[in-house]
Amino acid sequence: MLPVIYTDRFLEHRTGAMHPERPERLAAIVERLRRSPLAASLTWQEPRRATREQLLWVHSAELVETVEQVCRAGGGSLDPDTTVSAESFEVASLAAGGWLDGVDAVIRTGEPAWVLARPPGHHAEREQAMGFCLFANAALAAQYALRVHGRARVAVLDWDVHHGNGTQQLLWQEPRLAYISLHQSPHYPGTGYSHERGSAGNVLNVPLLAGCARKEYQQALDALVWPFIERFDPEVLIVSAGFDGHIDDPLAEMALRASDYGDFARQALARTRRVLFGLEGGYDLDGLAESVFAVTEACLSVHTRQV
């Protein structure tokens, strides 16, 4: 059985008409999974709410208070791309808590888990919500694995088409945490160059030109990403699973297919079964739903040794 952390409350984060990061993204994913042959192998779990203390592990008190106050006032814009509604603070706290629940599940079972949550998180910095992201879910989950579960090494692999500037910033100074990103470059947010390596060589950025497909991604994985992860030898691997590198996505210019994401997931799981997949971007509804299905299928079909 594969744990899937999800709640319909994630649909209550309203971003406004025509915004790419909309509730329909999750609705499409959930419908695809619940009507699929995999449905009987999924265990759906409601998330907890991340506490204020936990949010402060990665964010300033000023940021947390600003997000809460804007939402209490009925919503508004935190930056030109990032809109919140009255329920968004609560929903974002549930999203962050869902990633923590995912870490619990992976460590408890030694098997993968999915967090199907929104808003996403990898652009959120210590002092700034941005890029559709309110709280840094992946960075918080990595800190949780260290602080609560006592893990010695945790890696975040980010295959969203945009560089996760927030996750990188928040993991940069901690040698027990690694950040690895494959992303389109040049592209938003303008970070993620190969010379950005972290304070202890714990960051690997793999910028890719627009138009890259499976061949180019696979070359980068084989030459750079998998060797880096194997050397770091994480006890838990967290995947910031964005699917906006799909060929049909409206916000980028990559050429991946849903099946490619499934293969990437299999390759990660061949290195350790202790993988938490957490949703980031992906804005073509069909491409997003099929890509999540492909990763879910990989989680349920791959059985390999532990690292």
CATH number, domain containing residue 24: 3.40.800.20
Give a yes or no: residue 122 inside a domain: yes
Residue listed under structure tokens 């042959």 = 37
Q: Of 13, 59, 122, 123, which one is the catalytic site residue?
A: 123
State pLDDT tens for residues 171-215: 999 999 999 999 999 999 999 999 999 999 999 999 999 999 999
Q: How many domains does the structure of the chain reveal?
A: 1
Concerning whether 123 is annotated as a catalytic residue, the answer is: yes
**Could you tell me the sign of the dihedral formed by the alpha carbons of 104, 109, 112, 113, in that order?**
negative
76 is a domain residue: yes
Angle between helices 24-34 and 285-301 (to 10 degrees): 40
* 26 pLDDT higher than 80: yes
* Average pLDDT, rounded, for the chain: 97
Q: Is residue 24 part of a domain?
A: yes
Domain that holds residue 40: 2-301
User: Does residue 15 lie in a domain region?
Assistant: yes
Look at residue 23 and tell me if it is in a domain.
yes
Q: Where are the alpha helices (DSSP H) in the chain?
A: 24-34, 52-55, 61-72, 88-109, 137-147, 165-171, 214-220, 226-232, 258-269, 285-301
The reported pLDDT for the residue numbered 304 is: 38
**Residue 36 belongs to a domain:** yes
- Answer yes or no: is 306 within a domain: no
Query: Is 307 contained in some domain?
Result: no
pTM here is: 0.97
Whether residue 306 is predicted with pLDDT greater than 90 in this model: the reply is no
Contact assessment for residue 259 and residue 291, using Cβ atoms and an 8 Å cutoff: no
